[in-house]
Amino acid sequence: MSDGEAAVTAGARWAVSVDRTACAGTGMCVHSAPEHFALVKGRSQAVRESVEPDPAVLDAAENCPLEAIRVTETGTGVVLAPEL
């Protein structure tokens, strides 16, 4: 079982952040999870800092070419993506 699967429990929340200085603005995250990311002034930004668990958020973080997206479990602080 991966960390992402372990975090999907009743009441779980994820914190989503984007390092806008590292972001290259490719828009891959917006394409894969448009309800969670938006391009603002050419850089990605999380729509909300805290979200319900959603595999699309993990996919966006794992597929970010610059690893600018970080997803953590709010209760524990465990980093779910990108995998270290």
Read off the pLDDT of residues 31-84 as tens digits, 9 standing for 90 and up: 999 999 999 999 999 999 999 999 999 999 999 999 999 999 999 999 999 987
CB 70 within 8 A of CB 58: no
Specify the pairing of strand 69-73 against strand 43-46.
Answer: unpaired
Domain ranges of the chain: 3-76
| Single pTM value for the model | 0.86
> At residue 78, what are phi and psi to the nearest 5 degrees?
-65, 130
Contact 42, 16 (CB under 8 A): no
Indicate the CATH number for domain 3-76.
Answer: 3.30.70.20
